[in-house]
């Protein structure tokens, strides 16, 4: 049976780099939940229609093309709207991931998500959970550089990840099996990730 390893971490922590190292190490069957979410709105028109009905707004242009930035802006500071969207999105995503995992011939698939630990729908979903950690200032600088965003915009996104902030401050979460600290060079991150992979393959 295919095992699921979840890799999570706050903005700028380096979780995507850890996923790349996993791929280099032979674990190339990966599902990026954040990227797939955007695609699912397009691939499943009924999902987007249900969201538009629930929120009473349109998130497509006159030609019918999905405008993800409009939806993101609508739900960013509206917890009720966010919960409604996630309540419709996550069941579709879980079915999509199940199909992805079933189609994979890999013994282990990687599920990358920035916020899965904050979403009760994902509790017990993965066989193992890896948290990628980095100092606050490092994460802020990386995100600003990567996204070309202002410090204030990145800070607002970071503050929205309340549970993740607690985890990165050292608050223990029993759902986390391994922590990879990304506070040095890429080569150090590679070595730490490879050691985690060794432990993972022994214990999964």
Query: What is the helix (H) or strand (E) element at residue 3, kind and residue range?
Result: strand 3-9
Residue 198, both tokens? 């060794």
Average pLDDT over residues 140-168: 75
pLDDT of residue 81 exceeding 90, the answer is yes
pLDDT of residue 171: 58
User: What average pLDDT is seen over the chain?
Assistant: 90
Mean pLDDT of 2-16: 93
Asked if residue 129 has pLDDT above 90, the reply is yes
Residue closest to 160 by CA, chosen among 84, 77, 87, 68:
77
Residue 165 has pLDDT above 90, yes or no: no
Every domain of the chain and the residues it spans? 1-29+107-199, 37-103
User: What pTM did the predictor assign?
Assistant: 0.87
103: phi then psi, degrees, rounded to nearest 5: -75, -20
Fold of the CATH domain 1-29+107-199: Rossmann fold (3.40.50)
Asked which of 34-48, 84-98, 116-130, 134-148 is least confident by mean pLDDT, the reply is: 134-148
pLDDT at 170: 57
* Terminal CA-CA length for the chain: 11
Buried b (16+ CB within 10 A) or exposed e, 130-165: bbbbbeeebbbebbbeeeeeeeeebbebbebbeebe
Note the pLDDT of residue 172: 73
In the predicted structure, residue 37 carries a pLDDT above the cut 90 = yes
């Amino acid at each position: 049976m295919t095992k699921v390893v979840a890799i999570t971490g706050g903005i700028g922590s380096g979780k995507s780099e850890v996923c790349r190292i996993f791929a280099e190490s032979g674990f190339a069957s990966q599902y990026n939940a954040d990227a797939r979410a955007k695609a699912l709105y397009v691939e499943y028109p009924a999902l987007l229609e249900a969201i538009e009905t629930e929120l009473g707004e349109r998130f497509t242009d006159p030609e019918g093309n999905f405008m993800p930035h409009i939806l993101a802006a609508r739900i960013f500071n509206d917890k009720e709207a966010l919960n409604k969207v996630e309540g419709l999105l996550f069941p579709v995503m879980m079915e999509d991931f199940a199909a992805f995992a079933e189609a994979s011939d890999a013994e282990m698939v990687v599920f990358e998500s920035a916020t899965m630990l904050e979403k009760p729908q994902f509790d017990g979903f993965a066989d193992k959970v890896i948290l990628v950690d980095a100092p606050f200032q490092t994460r802020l600088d990386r995100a600003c550089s990567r996204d070309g965003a202002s410090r204030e915009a990145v800070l607002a996104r970071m503050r929205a990840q309340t549970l993740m902030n607690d985890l990165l401050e050292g608050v223990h979460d029993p759902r986390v099996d391994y922590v990879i600290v990304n506070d040095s060079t890429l080569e150090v991150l590679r070595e730490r990730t490879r050691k985690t992979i060794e432990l993972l393959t022994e214990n999964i």
